[in-house]
Amino acid sequence: MKKNKLRRNIFIISVFVFLYLPIFILVIYSFNASKMNIVFTHFTFKWYKELLSNTTLIEAFRNTIIIAVTSTVISTILGTISAVGLNKYDFKGKNFINSLIYIPIVIPEIVLGISLLSVYTLFHLELGITSIIIAHITFSIPYVITSVRSTLNALSKDIEEASYDLGANKWNTFRYVTLPLIMPGVISGATLAFTLSMDDVVISYFTAGPGSNTLPLNIYSMIKTGITPDVNALSTLMLLVVVIVLTSSAVIQSRRIQKRELLR
């Protein structure tokens, strides 16, 4: 019994080491004085200062944030509306549409990237930030729909019917009853859409144009010549923001749970 428990703990620790050791090394080397990410020489903040003067990297990061935020907002709105409609109403072709939803999820990204490029060429759409945003919305909507529908399927229809019986119309029922209840699914879908947009390389590679370089594409172009340490500095700052957001979310959630227990 003890041996099985020890093996399980070793396996769990090994998985966490495998996942987080590369991130830890990245953070350490962001403070490395050497430009070569091979040997750690001594501690410095030089690369964080260099980051502020690297206009190419900053512009690529700015483009990435603009694309991710815009595509996430639009795909979350469209995905939520589509999920509610597909969940509540029956119509001809519904099963066919349900099948189409999963195509952008299961097909290889390179196929989707080439397909979108072909469509842009056919309609003479200029490649740039707008074309990337449209592409990211295209592959993000199915993830939002899937996330929201899973929440809707667990929601009892009696709740909405009770709202109608109390005199609320469809809009007020959706706004004050349905939407708050499915909000965890909406947030989950939006988070997934934002994450996928932030680190997309393949689809952005086919749909990007001059002046629309993103951070993943910029880092990808550095692989041949070597990634500079200021990229490590930027990645560390992004990681810090994520940790702060997750910690704040956990604290807020913990306080809400405590308030609910006190009210009981």
pLDDT, tens digit (0-9, with 9 covering 90-100), for 91-102: 887 888 888 888
- Residue at 36: amino acid letter: M
Residue 129 pLDDT > 80: yes
- Distance between CA atoms of residues 196 and 76, nearest Å: 13
Indicate the pLDDT class of residue 41, thresholds 50, 70 and 90: confident
**Cβ 226 vs Cβ 177: under 8 Å:** no
- Distance between CA atoms of residues 144 and 183, nearest Å: 12
pLDDT, tens digit (0-9, with 9 covering 90-100), for 61-87: 999 999 999 999 999 999 999 998 888
Kindly list the structural domains of the chain, giving each domain's residue range(s) and its CATH number in brackets, ordered by start: 56-227 (1.10.3720.10)
- Residue at 144: amino acid letter: V
Query: Of 139, 143, 142, which Cα lies nearest the Cα of 112?
Result: 139
pLDDT, tens digit (0-9, with 9 covering 90-100), for 178-216: 888 888 899 989 999 999 999 899 999 999 988 788 999
pLDDT, tens digit (0-9, with 9 covering 90-100), for 142-166: 999 999 998 888 887 778 788 877 7
Q: Which two tokens stand for residue 146?
A: 């899937």
pTM over 0.85: yes
Indicate the pLDDT class of residue 253, thresholds 50, 70 and 90: confident
Half-sphere exposure of 163 (CA within 13 A, CB side): 16
- Distance between CA atoms of residues 180 and 185, nearest Å: 10
